[in-house]
Amino acid sequence: MRIVRLQRRARIVDGRDVLSEILDHPGPTHTMFDVLAACVAALSPGPRVAMLGFAGGGVVAPLRAMGFHAPLAAVDLSMQGVRLFRELAGPWAGTVEVDQADAAAWLQRRTRRYDLIFEDLSTTRSRGRLAVKPAVSIETLPALMQRRLRSNGVVVTNLLPMPKMRWEILLQRLAAPFAHAQVVHLDGYVNRILLAGRQLPEARATSARLRAALARIGSNQTAAIHVRRLA
């Protein structure tokens, strides 16, 4: 993992993957972090948000620029990115609490239910140093997140291709505990974003909400998303 310093921002990079794009001001990153932030800002039915996987908090700058100022509770195994986040974003980011812990154990210990849970965990394969989802994201977290949601809550999961697992199988397994699910496709990215919950807007309405949130901050990702209902 390495840190790349740029004008008014920094990147946390692991192999070929950008784990976070951290700004020193609220605003668009012009990356998929804007889309992830839009999913939170546009779909959370309330202020209680948990973030599983924080790295350097790449979604916070666009999220705050979109007007979502509620406190954020996050967890990550490493605090390296958190220190960089505090340096660049501390003066304006608002309340962002990050615990160093295993995500599943952390969520299991929490007593409150959340309006939205954002899952952005990844691990690196030694061969080719490609980022993939850890086993806990597939085997443990979907059902656990469902239990930790409020009745109208939403889960947002940032997905990566998994070796030897077709997208259809991966999506179905992660969506299994939920009544409804949609998939956000992003032009130029292999990632997909799974939206799941007991209730969701129609896919067309979800797309409109996300595009409106992105347009408010002038993100170049506004026209680069496509939302589909998961059959």
Q: Are 82 and 98 in contact (CB under 8 A)?
A: yes
- What's the distance, Cα to Cα, between the start and end of the chain in Å? 37
Q: Are 145 and 77 in contact (CB under 8 A)?
A: no
Interval 164-220: pLDDT, tens: 899 999 999 999 999 999 999 999 999 999 999 999 999 999 999 999 999 999 999
DSSP annotation of 31 = S
Interval 127-173: pLDDT, tens: 555 788 999 999 999 999 999 999 999 999 999 988 889 999 999 99
> What one-character-per-residue DSSP string does 157-198 give?
EEE--BTTB-HHHHHHHHHTTSSEEEEEEETT-S-EEEEEES
Residue type for 156, please? V
Share the mean pLDDT of the chain.
94
Strand partners, 162: 165
pLDDT for the residue 128: 54
Q: Are 138 and 170 in contact (CB under 8 A)?
A: yes
Q: Give the C-alpha distances (Å, rounded to integers) separating 230 from 42, 154, 158, 173, 175.
A: 19, 15, 15, 12, 9
Interval 91-138: pLDDT, tens: 999 999 999 999 999 999 998 999 999 999 998 765 555 788 999 999
pLDDT for the residue 125: 64
User: Among positive and negative, which fits the CA dihedral 224, 230, 55, 121?
Assistant: negative
Interval 1-34: pLDDT, tens: 788 898 999 999 887 788 899 999 999 999 999 9
Domains along the sequence of the chain with CATH: 2-229 (3.40.50.150)
Interval 38-95: pLDDT, tens: 999 999 999 999 999 999 999 999 999 999 999 999 999 999 999 999 999 999 999 9
pLDDT for the residue 126: 52
Select from 103, 32, 41 the least CA-distant residue to 70: 41
How many secondary structure helices (H) and strands (E) does the chain include? 8, 13
Does an H or E element contain 211, and which? helix 203-216
> At a CB cut-off of 8 Å and minimum separation 6, what does 125 contact?
131, 132, 163
Cα–Cα dist 60/76, whole Å: 15
> At a CB cut-off of 8 Å and minimum separation 6, what does 58 contact?
19, 20, 21, 22, 29, 31, 33, 36
Q: How many CB atoms lie within 10 A of CB 98?
A: 18
Report field, pTM of the whole predicted structure over 0.85: yes
